[in-house]
């Protein structure tokens, strides 16, 4: 309650123009598990769950060259995560991190800035203030804050010679703590400043012998919250205690279901909520849809939890909370599989912290093992569509450890774990758990569960290039879905089997499946599904050598997929487009698509996908006669492929396509020269590989001469929109992946000068980030 968050927000606002890659605020108050900080920061930055990379490595890769400010708010409950902060600062030289915390992080280079209480008058000034109330408000921030908050509940409130001393003493008694002052000011609806002061003095005297092992500041705030709590009627106190079970806020519907399902509050529910709002024990959380959502300041919530734990309701209320979240997740799960997807995702995302708490509660008792499995399983599609893949995978793994019984809940959790593992490229684990899921579903006799697991097993076997087995399970899944009559599930099964048939060379039957898939998704009005179907048709046409047709289908797929902002699926279609245009000889366009896909895959952390695109960019360099560059890129791609299970999406490049161009380059360059370039490509980090792949050739011998693969011409460059020659030079260096410090060194200028150029470039291009500037430059052939 000292005002750390508000101060940090103001600092961030004041500094926003100094960080070319932006300022990002990361609220950590709801987080209790230190291992979640990386995923939380990644989500604020817009990064998807990394495949093949740890969250830490993904963050490090993304932030390495960013001139960016991270504000990590409320860190004290996850202090063991401090090493991640230290690593990011050490490895990302232009990154700055501002942390608000009740405890220091104990990191090398940490600069502590204690936030003092608001300024207060001393006793010698009180007489002067009584003569000049305006001076009191102007000179002392604590009094100014009290007056501001007082006017929000009592618009005619004003400091007068009669009340200024009471207000000053009240603020002093609250130690100048902003939260305590705001809570006190909110009581002016009921009490005068003098009455507040009298009650405050009574409470402080009563609690003077409180726990000495708590920091003095926390004792004062605890006293203030307890005093506010004691002003409530008994029914309002009961409601307050029960509401403390919610993490990250709640809706009125949710709160009623958990706190008043038996109508035993002894007070009208809405009246009680209104009182808690007026007393500032609750606050409204702004929502885009206008629905009322409320929450507690974390310190207040923890106080409520202490009271709840001291009552006989601790287990009962937590059980209600977990049961409600289970019902909520299971009710929303079907809505994820159709046109209501966005609304369902938004509802689940709003309750992510409550879902985490419910999962934790389920894990605390053996009696809740089945509920834990059900909740984790119900969130599998949320993990997939909502970019929580790694976290949901962890939930599923943990839940599966609680029970080994062959139940439907376990079978579904195994299916979810298999789907999450496949998305992350962990194909062996995915196959193992899906095979177990299939076995349980067969034993139970659940056709729906069996069809779901078989469909996912088909997809995993496709990724492992076992097309015969994939086809067998895919066909069985489709037979089951036809009998069950679930159109969305059938459409997705058709998509999986269609890709398998394409890989097997059965293009005609694959197209029949894709056509039926399109009809189903159109009937369901599901644009996400249509994007998958058109991408599949493009994949089929490309593999059949019908490149112009493939290009048309893929353009339709990309338009649909962009509308859903699904980075992984967008990247898949971009890769297919890049391959198609490359085979058509449209090398400029191919480079644009492949470069954009590489940027997205880097943000996601899909190392298997990165390996594929780097290989394709190597083929593009080979097509232009840049043999040394091509060799380095193919070597880097081979390095990355060896570290992953491969790309988990459709592509025209087959496993047998990798070796022939390598052999051809060895013949062109000769063994010695080839070996030098190959060794160079094998020694680069992922970040260096991506930077090199995006950059254009720089030597005269590698400029774009045609060869037998493509008869191309040098790409035309669009004129820069008002950029100076030096700004164009800076932009081209930016797109090459080098740091701003390296740009300054290359151009022999100061870092401040580079920052000025970057700011000007962003303004002229109408962008706000380095990635967007790079995308613009590539799209307009400026590099």
3-state DSSP helix/strand/coil percent for the chain, to nearest 5?
70, 5, 30
Angle between helices 567-583 and 547-562 (to 10 degrees): 160
User: Quick one: DSSP state of residue 637?
Assistant: H
Q: What is the DSSP letter of 73?
A: E
**Residue 462 to residue 450: CA distance in whole angstroms:** 18
Q: Please list, in sequence order, all residues whose beta carbon lies within 8 angstroms of the beta carbon of residue 673, skipping any fewer than 6 positions away.
A: 628
Q: Is 272 exposed, middle or buried (0-12, 13-18, 19+ CB in 10 A)?
A: buried
Reported confidence tier of residue 298, pLDDT bands at 50, 70, 90: confident
176's tokens: 């100048």
pLDDT in tens, 455-469: 999 999 998 889 999
For 192, 238, 273, 275, the CA distances from 233, given in Å and listed in that order, are: 20, 9, 12, 10
Contacts of 509 (CB under 8 A, 6+ apart): 501
pLDDT score for 771: 64
3-state DSSP call for residue 100?
strand
How many Cβ atoms from other residues are within 10 Å of residue 562's Cβ? 14
Question: In this predicted model, what pLDDT tens digit does every residue of 358-396 receive, in sequence order?
Answer: 999 998 888 899 999 999 999 999 998 887 888 999 999
| Confidence band, pLDDT 50/70/90 cuts, at residue 221 | low
What are 698-724's pLDDT values in tens digits?
Answer: 443 333 333 322 322 233 344 456 677
Angle at 584 between CA 579 and CA 590, to 5 degrees: 45
Helix-helix angle 178-185:216-230, to 10 degrees: 20
Query: What residues contact residue 203 under an 8 Å CB cut-off, 6+ apart?
Result: 223, 226, 227, 230
Q: What is the mean pLDDT of the chain?
A: 85
> How much is the pTM?
0.72
- Sorted by where each starts, the structural domains of the chain and their CATH numbers stand as 4-100 (3.40.50.300), 123-226 (no CATH), 231-311 (1.10.10.10), 343-551 (1.25.40.10), 563-702 (1.25.40), 725-779 (1.10.10.10)
Which of 299-303, 406-410, 426-430 has maximum average pLDDT?
406-410
CA-based nearest residue to 765, from 725, 722, 715: 722
Q: Where is average pLDDT lowest: 87-91, 107-111, 210-214, 519-523?
A: 210-214
Q: Which has the closest alpha carbon to 307: 247, 359, 229? A: 229
């Amino acid at each position: 309650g000292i005002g750390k968050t508000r101060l940090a927000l103001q600092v961030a606002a004041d500094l926003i123009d100094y960080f070319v890659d932006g300022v990002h605020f990361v609220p950590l108050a709801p987080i209790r598990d230190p291992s979640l900080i990386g995923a939380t920061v990644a989500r604020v930055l817009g990064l998807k769950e990394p495949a093949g990379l740890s969250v830490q490595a993904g963050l490090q890769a993304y932030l390495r060259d960013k001139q960016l400010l991270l504000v990590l708010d409320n860190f004290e409950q996850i202090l063991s995560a401090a090493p991640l902060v230290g690593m990011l600062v050490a490895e990302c030289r232009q990154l700055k991190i501002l942390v608000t915390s009740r405890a220091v992080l104990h990191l090398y280079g940490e600069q502590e800035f204690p936030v003092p209480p608001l300024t207060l008058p001393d006793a010698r000034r009180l007489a002067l203030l009584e003569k000049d109330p305006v001076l009191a408000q102007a000179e002392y921030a604590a009094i100014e804050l009290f007056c501001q908050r007082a006017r929000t509940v009592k618009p005619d409130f004003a400091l007068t010679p009669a009340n200024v001393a009471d207000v000053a003493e009240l603020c002093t008694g609250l130690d100048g703590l902003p939260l305590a002052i705001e809570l006190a000011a909110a009581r002016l609806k009921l009490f005068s400043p003098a009455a507040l002061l009298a009650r405050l003095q009574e409470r402080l005297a009563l609690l003077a012998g409180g726990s000495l092992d708590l920091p003095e500041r926390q004792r004062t705030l605890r006293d203030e919250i307890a005093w506010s709590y004691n002003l409530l009627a008994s029914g309002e106190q009961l409601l307050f205690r029960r509401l403390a079970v919610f993490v990250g806020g709640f809706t009125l519907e949710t709160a009623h279901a958990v706190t008043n399902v038996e109508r035993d509050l002894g007070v009208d529910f809405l009246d009680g909520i209104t009182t808690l709002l007026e007393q500032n024990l609750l606050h409204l959380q702004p929502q885009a849809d206008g629905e009322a959502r409320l929450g507690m300041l974390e310190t207040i919530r923890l106080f409520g939890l202490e009271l709840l734990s001291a009552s006989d309701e601790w287990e009962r209320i937590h059980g209600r909370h977990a049961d409600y979240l289970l019902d909520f997740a299971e009710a929303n799960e079907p809505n994820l599989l159709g046109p209501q997807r966005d609304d369902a995702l938004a509802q689940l995302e709003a309750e992510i912290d409550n879902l985490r708490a419910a999962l934790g509660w389920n894990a605390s008792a053996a009696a809740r093992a089945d509920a834990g499995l059900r909740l984790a399983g119900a969130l599998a599609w949320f993990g997939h569509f909502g970019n929580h893949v790694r976290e949901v995978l962890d939930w599923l793994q943990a839940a599966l450890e609680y029970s080994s019984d062959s139940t439907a809940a376990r079978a579904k959790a195994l299916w979810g774990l298999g789907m999450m593992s496949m998305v992350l490229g962990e194909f062996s684990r995915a196959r193992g758990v899906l095979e177990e899921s299939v076995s349980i579903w067969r034993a139970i006799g659940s056709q729906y569960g069996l069809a779901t697991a078989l469909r996912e097993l088909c997809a995993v076997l496709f990724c492992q290039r076992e097309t015969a087995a994939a086809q067998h399970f895919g066909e069985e899944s489709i037979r089951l879905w036809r009998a069950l009559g679930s159109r969305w599930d059938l459409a997705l099964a058709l998509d999986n089997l269609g890709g398998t048939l394409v890989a097997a060379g059965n293009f005609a039957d694959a197209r029949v499946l894709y056509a039926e898939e399109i009809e189903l998704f159109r009937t369901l009005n599901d644009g996400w599904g249509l994007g998958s179907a058109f991408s599949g048709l493009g994949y089929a046409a490309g593999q059949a050598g019908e490149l112009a047709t493939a290009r048309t289908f893929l353009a339709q797929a990309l338009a649909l997929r962009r509308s859903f902002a699904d980075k992984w699926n967008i990247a898949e279609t971009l890769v297919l487009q890049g391959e198609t245009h490359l085979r058509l000889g449209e090398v400029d366009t191919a480079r644009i698509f492949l470069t954009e896909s590489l940027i997205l895959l880097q943000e996601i952390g899909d190392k298997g996908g990165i390996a594929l695109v780097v290989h394709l960019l190597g083929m593009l360099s080979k097509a232009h006669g840049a043999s040394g560059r091509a060799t380095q890129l193919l070597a880097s791609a081979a390095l990355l492929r060896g570290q992953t299970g491969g790309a988990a999406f459709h592509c025209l490049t087959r496993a047998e396509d990798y070796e022939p161009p390598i052999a051809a380059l060895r013949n062109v360059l000769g063994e010695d020269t080839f070996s030098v370039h190959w060794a160079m490509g094998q020694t680069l980090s992922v970040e260096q590989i991506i930077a090199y792949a995006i950059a254009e050739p720089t030597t005269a011998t590698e400029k774009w001469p045609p060869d037998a693969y493509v008869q191309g011409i040098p790409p035309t460059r669009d004129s820069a929109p008002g950029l100076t020659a030096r700004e164009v030079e800076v932009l081209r260096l930016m797109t090459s992946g080098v740091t701003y410090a390296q740009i300054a060194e290359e151009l022999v200028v100061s870092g401040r000068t580079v920052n000025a150029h970057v700011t000007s470039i962003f303004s002229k291009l109408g962008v706000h980030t380095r990635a967007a500037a790079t995308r613009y430059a590539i799209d307009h052939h400026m590099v």
